[in-house]
Amino acid sequence: MLEHEGVSFLGNVHLGTDVTRDDLLSCYDAVVYATGAMSDRRLGIPGEDLPGSYAATDFVNWYCGHPDVDPDAFSLDADAVAVIGVGNVAVDVARILIRDPAELRDTDVSQPVLDALTASKVREVHMIGRRGPAQAKFTTKELRELGELPGVEVVVHGDEADLNAFDLAGEGVRLVESDRRVRGNLVAITKWAQGTADPSAEPATGSPSGHSRRLTVRFWLRPTEILGTERVEGITLERTAISADGKFGGTGEFETLDAQMVLRSVGYQSVPLPGVPFDTRASVVPNAQGRVLGEDGAPLPGEYVAGWLKRGPTGVIGTNKSDAAETVRCLLEDLAGGPGEGDVPLPRAGLLRYPDRPPPAADPLVPAADLADPAVDPAPPAAAPAGGERPLAGVLAGRGIVPVSYAEWLRIETAEADLAKELGRGERVKLHNAEAIWSACRPEPE
Ligand code: NAP
């Protein structure tokens, strides 16, 4: 995609600090915001900010090698970890914590992260759902994979797997009848419950079954406090239930779990983009099928949104593909629409309408051709659109910003492949921090 002649890649450009929304709108006929959901939801309980209590987003960014996260941010000296939430992110983080790190050797996980996982003391992970197995959000394939991890025993309490034990309204039974995903999840959960002899037993170490780590999936428990003075020592959970009249709530019965680390995996949240409309209640950009809506509820010309920023943090990769397709369909419809009667002439035939668009401001403008270092970026800079528009590269140059080019991005990729060879690991290994990335991308002259 990045090699397509109509595509230019401008990396490491931050909306809000390097460019403004107005810059984008003056440089392009259409802008698609697709920045996802980078923040996390909070639990709002005491102890949430104790050392050892983390947002799953931070943990995911750490093991995925996000350059803004310190590779030493997690030392994994906890014996037991509580993961709050029963969605796919909870599955992802539980799996990373509990699986044999030797299996990650051939993946692209960075070396410091692999070293930390190899040195991990974690033996027990509790994944905790505030409602029942039928209401859990995980998808069946992802859930089932937890049962296939070598050396990991999966434990489920029999009463918590029983659809009727804490649900007097029969909500779970109805969900099983109506939803194939829920039925699939229940098959896996019931099997684990049937294979669990004593859920309160200590995790077996080097047991005859060969299990050395244990994952316990709990239901009908909501966290009320994260315990500890200097750092996390445990978590208090309240038993929950659905009453006969369908009300969900706590039962007043509490239990405490020992855990030296808590990962809050209760959903992601989008953050507002500077200058771009944002619905603070739903944490999305207000839109109609991807057309960004202004305060009056009418579509804003030339602004579109796709993905989690458009509809909230739900759905798997395929869901985001069809979501993006809907946005692009709208964009193409607008493009085909042409100018309406009385509209100002379009910058190019067949493009979007900008009835009130101001002329480009007289910002210091360096022609894009002067910008590109041919040694770094052999690709020609994006052609300036007809009609006097300013290419974004020129706007950035005027501010002394040199974006990361596709050629530089390829250098990072090559450095990752070289590192994998050097370490004798898989096809590629991620560079471990921003400094390593910069020195691969823009090496100091000899
Ligand atoms: P999610 O699917 O919305 O799950 C969030 C979980 O947190 C739910 O179990 C929810 O329980 C629980 N929760 C929310 N507030 C809580 C609170 N105050 N106390 C206790 N529990 C609370 O979110 P996610 O796991 O972050 O995943 C986001 C999206 O990414 C999902 O659509 C997921 O499928 C997708 N994803 C997919 C993959 C994959 O395809 N492999 C991997 C990762 C993520 P309630 O239901 O009771 O609210």
Beta strands in 194-353 (DSSP E): 213-218, 221-227, 234-242, 248-258, 261-264, 268-269, 287-288, 291-293, 299-305
- C-alpha 331/C-alpha 373 separation (Å) is 33
Per-residue pLDDT tens digits for 295-336: 999 888 889 999 999 999 998 889 999 999 999 988 887 876
Distance (angstroms) between ligand 1 centre and the Cα of 275 equals 29
Residue nearest atom 40 in ligand 1 by C-alpha distance = 316
Select from 88, 144, 221, 316 the residue to mutate for testing ligand 1; criterion: most ligand atoms less than 8 Å from CB. 88
Per-residue pLDDT tens digits for 350-369: 345 544 444 444 433 333 33
> Ligand 1 atom closest to Cα of 139?
34
Residue 309: predicted pLDDT: 98
Compute the average pLDDT of residues 25-34: 91
Residue 355: predicted pLDDT: 47
Q: Would you say residue 37 has pLDDT above 70? A: yes
**Averaging pLDDT over each range in 200-209, 296-305, 418-427, which range is the top one?**
418-427
Compute the average pLDDT of residues 405-430: 96
Select from 48, 128, 135, 137 the residue to mutate for testing ligand 1; criterion: most ligand atoms less than 8 Å from CB. 137
Distance (angstroms) between ligand 1 centre and the Cα of 90 equals 7
Q: What topology is assigned to 32-38+270-347 in CATH?
A: Rossmann fold (3.40.50)
387 vs 175, residue with greater confidence: 175
* Amino acid letter for position 163: L
Distance (angstroms) between ligand 1 centre and the Cα of 201 equals 28
Distance (angstroms) between ligand 1 centre and the Cα of 214 equals 22
Return the C-alpha torsion angle 414, 416, 417, 418, nearest 10: 90
| Radius of gyration for the chain, computed over Cα atoms and rounded to the nearest angstrom | 26
Residue 376: predicted pLDDT: 38
In the block, residue with structure tokens 């009418």: 298
Q: Would you say residue 379 has pLDDT above 60? A: no
Shortest CA distance to 139 belongs to which of 183, 170, 95?
Answer: 183
Question: In which band, very low, low, confident or very high, does the pLDDT at 235 lie, cut at 50, 70 and 90?
Answer: very high
Tokens of 102: 């030797």
Q: Where in the chain is the domain with CATH 3.50.50.60?
A: 39-267
Residue nearest atom 23 in ligand 1 by C-alpha distance = 267
Residues with a CB atom less than 6 Å from ligand 1: 43, 84-90, 92, 129-131, 135-137, 139, 142, 222, 265-268, 313-316
Homologous superfamily of the 39-267 domain (CATH): FAD/NAD(P)-binding domain (3.50.50.60)
In the block, residue with structure tokens 């480009």: 360
pTM: 0.86
Q: Where in the chain is the domain with CATH 3.40.50.720?
A: 32-38+270-347
Distance (angstroms) between ligand 1 centre and the Cα of 313 equals 9
Distance (angstroms) between ligand 1 centre and the Cα of 86 equals 6
Burial class (CB in 10 A: 0-12, 13-18, 19+), 269: middle
Residue nearest atom 3 in ligand 1 by C-alpha distance = 267
